[in-house]
Chains A and B, each alone.
Chain A
Amino acid sequence: MTRLDPEPPEAALAASAPNLLALREVSKSFGPAGRGGTIALRDATLSCRAGEILGLVGPDGAGKTTLVRLAAGLLAPTRGSIVVLGLDSVKDAAEVRGRIGYMPQRFGLYEDLTVRENLRLYADLQGVPPSTRAEREPRLLRMAGLGRFQDRLAGRLSGGMKQKLGLACALVKAPELLLLDEPTVGVDPVSRRELWQIIAELVERDDIGVLLSTSYLDEAERCHRIEVMLRGEIVASGSPASFRERLAQHVFETRPRSQREARRLQAHLLDRDGIADATIRSGRVRLVVPGSGAADVGRAIEGFDTSSAVATSPRFEDAFMCLVSERLAPPPRIDTDAAEPLGTEVVPSRGPESRAGEPRASDATERAAKVRVKGVVKRFGDFVAVRNITFEVGPGEIFGLLGPNGAGKTTMFRMMCGLLPVTSGTIDIAGHDLRRSPSRARARIGYMAQRFSLYGTLGVEENLRFFGRAYGLRGRVLEARLERALASYELLPRRDTPAGELPLGYKQRLAMAAALLHEPEILFLDEPTSGVDPLARREFWRRIGAVAESGVTVVVTTHFMEEAEYCDRMIVMAQGAMMAAGTPEDIRERARSPENPDPSIEDAFIALAESAARESGLRAQRSEADA
């Protein structure tokens, strides 16, 4: 285990605070001991003090949930001891549970009860005395921003609001220690910021301890201390600053000429030895070189149309990726050549001159727009979900649809795939009117849903075969494509495994293979990386980059703002209207101010969402005043 010293001053200060949680060499295995069983956690030692947020960070399957459940007294350790609030987590499990707050990944809200009824029910279940309740309930509702929605059914809240209500329910008995298992999964950035504000307020005012697991690396920066978990082991721990300090002078940035060049450079760097991570942030390619310095970086970016690399301040994410590349097998090489033939029948592959040239969006659309959305409106009864939206997507573009939950982006997306009829306006897909020749238009698109949505009982190959045939493939063509897809998505050893039993990462590969088997001109992706850990997300985006490089147009919705960086162009929606459209650069420009000279897409997004909320608030006030 890597101890990262020196401890930052705030952690040293906290050392005097009482220890709320202590794990000593805790292991947990499931199933029969030895062979056949799985070891979910190995020799974990950690402690959490009052007034501290301790983060558990790691990819899926790292053992985060097991650790949180052990601390909650819901599982007994196979070896080692767990002391919670001075009590043994196994012997005094009942008392431990009475004094801690625990929020599992999916909090069990009663969807047919209102917000207030849910809160009261949990207060009853926890035996909270009425005097405490009267003081606590309004405060929790205010903190969660649910004061106005007290009488709304929990089932009709947005994902972010549900999560805040779950947190309020876990807090109703004023716990001394709060255990949160991935509280922000599937929550949009605005709601995530609010959840973190609640947690920070609690720690500061009530001096409680918080143990929180997350796979969002940007959230880890907000913890006081971090335990990095990989494959059931704690591999490093320390404050975010201590992680960052280790990488000073090992993180560089370079600004490529264009978005497409940035993606190519990134793919090139990820395949090079000695580079732990390469990402696109604010239009620049960030690269992490743990074992070398500026000279090697200069060689690595040679031959690309990009500015010279400059050292930049490291982030926790960079350190995390270094740990991952040290400890885990390298991610599969994504062979652009394997993906190339997928597009060749549709779009001739680009020559070198067009690659080097600036593929401006306007030029692209002028050539032949793959998607044309003109004046689209969608009404559900009185409610206007999408207000008069117009845009075009050019061939080979990666196009993003962004917006918070409830902004109308899912509705817009479903209309583009032909899953929802438009109220007015037109949508052309690859030159076919979606309303007049739906079957023909649909034959040209590939679709990947947010949830895994292939047939779980059917095998990998059976699923692919079905979708291939449904799109009209047969005979030798079908067999050849099947073999190629199985090979390039590394599904060959699992070709007969029922799709439902695949590990998450493989499910996603299969879904992508199925969506691309018929070589669509346009690929639609609905929140493809929701609930997927950072490693799988990186792999996924590399595949998307390769697909786009082969000429396929990609339309994607996401609420991970850093993923917006991979898009060539995007529109940002809020309250059903288009707030902004353009390249990532154009969008970032919106939030540039003297205080924030280098805003991220997320900053821009939150600024846009807030101004939209203000406007609609004003509209509501005006209409109330009129009435």
Chain B
Amino acid sequence: MILDRLHRVLALVLKEFLTILKDPKSRFVVIGPPIIQFFVFGYAATFDVTSVRYAVLDESRTPESRALLARFESSASFDLVATLDTDEQIARSIDAQAVRLVLHVGPTYAENLHAGRPAVVQAILDGRNSNVASIALGYVQAIVQQHSASLGVGSPIEVDPGLSIDLVDRAWYNPNLTSRWYIVSALGGTISMVVVMLLTSLSIAREREQGTFDQLLVSPLTPLEILVGKATPAVVFGLADAALLSAGAVLWFEVPLLGSLAALLLGLFVFVIAVTGVGLFISSLSGTMQQGLLGSFMYIMPSVILSGFTTPLENMPRWLQVLTFVNPLRYVVELLRRVFLEAASLQDVAGLIFPMLAIAAVTLALAAFFFRWRTT
């Protein structure tokens, strides 16, 4: 009896693998997009600000002003694109987004410096991208501070000359605050979710559309067996992708993997099962492939945003935070970051694995229930 069941499920699993691997489109979905997305995210998605385009309006035109501006020119964070002659040009170049920053050195800069009066440098920033503007301003302040210090005590060029507390910062887990570590460590979860959603959301809908699902329903296969047969290939491909991308994070982007490998793999495994449940649930509600695909995209976008993958969950309003509790991606993103960067062990992340197990149980049960219900 049990053997018969296993035999039937095995037949279905084999068939599912065959259909995925024989269809060039499905084959590509499993391998192509994950790798492309991995590199696109790895290189493009970074909060680090480099090569800020800026212009200079130097009304002082003295060796002192040039010494200050030379520090910007030699910085990798800034990229000089224009030298301005008049005030009016400032507004124009910022409006046209030719530059994000204009450094304005007034005509009295050198005089003030020598007279021991505060010498003021004006930084005008494009606030439309507030994130870049505030980071660039931070850099400007740091460079000016360094320059001021190099001139020796008594020649401050500081907005706040009375600063007397010295802040020494040290970032734990990511000492250089490389945002790539933050993004890449979580990619295995995010990208494998997209793959699993595509595979599962189409799998039942495709059979419904092509009429083969009836053929399955009239066979001795029970809904539970169909569920297992349908879920297995998605879990296998999803886990393979997630593991591959995690390896890529370590080997290609050189993100340190400090925590337990077992915690990482178990976490990803449970996560992929939970996402498979969501995908099969969506698919079991869909009558056509188009509905399945639309459903999975309606799920993917919000779940990425509500996962803390790019923006911290703590900044979201309370009610939205509650919503994130049913999002498996939220748990795996945190799990991955903690295992990669915090050296978390299996025990440390157990609290993140159990909620995903619960989500998997509920969604898989719903999917099995709706297999038959939707058949009219």
**Contacts from A to B (Cβ < 8 Å):** 380, 417-421, 438-440, 442-443, 445, 447, 449-458, 462, 465-467, 469-472, 474, 498, 524
Contacts and interface: CB of A to CB of B under 8 A. Distances in A.
Contacts of B218: 417-419, 442, 445, 447, 524
Given A453-B210, A453-B211, A469 B19 contact: no
Nearest to B229: A470
Nearest to A515: B215
A443 B222 CA distance: 11
B220 A454 contact: no
Nearest to A500: B210
A118 B19 CA distance: 39
A470 B19 contact: no
Contacts of B372: 421
Contact of A419 (B8, B10, B217): B217
Given A453-B212, A453-B214, A466-B11, A471 B219 contact: yes
B376 interface: yes
A455 B7 CA distance: 20
Contacts of B45: none
B214 A472 contact: no
Contact of A466 (B14, B220, B375): B14
A467 B218 CA distance: 11
A447 B216 CA distance: 10
Nearest to A498: B22
Contact of B11 (A418, A440, A469): A469
Contacts of A469: 7-8, 10-11, 14
A442 B225 CA distance: 14
A452 B214 CA distance: 11
A559 B12 CA distance: 34
Contacts of A439: 220-222
Contact of B212 (A418, A440, A454): A454
B19 A458 contact: yes
B221 A470 contact: yes
Contacts of A498: 22
Given A447-B215, A474-B7, A456 B210 contact: yes
Nearest to B24: A457
Contact of B217 (A418, A450, A455, A458): A418
Nearest to B10: A469
A556 to B, nearest CB: 15
Contacts of A380: 376
Given A458-B15, A462-B18, A470 B216 contact: yes
B219 A470 contact: yes
A458 B18 contact: yes
Interface size bracket, B side: 20 to 34
Nearest to A447: B218
A470 B214 contact: no
Given A442-B218, A445-B218, A474-B7, A420 B211 contact: no
Nearest to A439: B220
Contacts of A474: 7
B15 A466 contact: yes
A442 to B, nearest CB: 5
Nearest to A445: B218
A474 to B, nearest CB: 6
A455 B214 CA distance: 12
B88 interface: no
A440 B220 contact: yes
Highest count of chain B CB atoms <10 Å: which of A442, A445, A470: A470
A197 B128 CA distance: 71
A451 B22 contact: no
A220 to B, nearest CB: 31
The 7 A-B pairs with the shortest beta carbon distances in the complex, nearest first, are A469-B11, A453-B211, A447-B218, A443-B220, A466-B15, A470-B219, A457-B22
A256 B34 CA distance: 68
Given A419-B375, A440-B220, A472-B8, A449 B210 contact: no
10 contacts: A419-B218, A438-B222, A439-B222, A449-B215, A452-B211, A453-B210, A455-B15, A466-B14, A469-B10, A470-B220
Given A462-B18, A471-B220, 4 more contacts: A418-B217, A438-B222, A439-B220, A470-B216
A442 B220 contact: yes
Contacts of B14: 466, 469
A547 B360 CA distance: 46
Nearest to A458: B18
A449 B214 contact: yes
A436 B28 CA distance: 43
A457 B17 CA distance: 12
Contacts of B10: 469
A421 B372 CA distance: 9
A442 B210 CA distance: 21
Contacts of B212: 453-455
Nearest to A511: B215
Contacts of A452: 211
A56 B375 CA distance: 40
A439 B221 CA distance: 7
A73 to B, nearest CB: 33
Nearest to B26: A457
Contacts of B12: 466, 470
A472 B215 contact: no
Interface string B220-235: 1110000000000000
Nearest to A418: B218
B219 A419 contact: no
Contacts of B87: none
Given A420-B375, A470-B11, A442 B214 contact: no
Contacts of B210: 453, 456
Contact of A454 (B4, B7, B22, B215): B215
B314 interface: no
Contacts of A450: 211
A449 B218 CA distance: 11
Contacts of A419: 214, 217-218, 375
B40 to A, nearest CB: 30
B25 to A, nearest CB: 10
Contacts of B4: 472
B23 interface: yes
A472 B220 contact: yes
Highest count of chain A CB atoms <10 Å: which of B212, B214, B218, B376: B218
A471 B23 CA distance: 25
Contact of A467 (B22, B219, B222): B219
Nearest to B226: A470
A465 B12 CA distance: 11
A125 to B, nearest CB: 25
Contacts of A457: 18-19, 22-23
Nearest to B211: A453
Given A420-B376, A470-B221, A449 B211 contact: yes
Contacts of B8: 469-470, 472
B372 to A, nearest CB: 8
A462 B212 CA distance: 14
A312 B19 CA distance: 54
A404 B12 CA distance: 36
A442 B375 CA distance: 16
Contacts of A455: 15, 19, 212
Nearest to A474: B7
Highest count of chain B CB atoms <10 Å: which of A454, A456, A472: A472
Interface in B50-101: none
A448 to B, nearest CB: 9
A472 B212 CA distance: 18
A472 B218 CA distance: 14
Nearest to B25: A457
A470 B210 CA distance: 19
B206 to A, nearest CB: 10
Interface string B22-39: 110000000000000000
A526 to B, nearest CB: 9
A421 B374 CA distance: 11
A394 to B, nearest CB: 22
Contacts of B214: 417, 419, 447, 449, 453
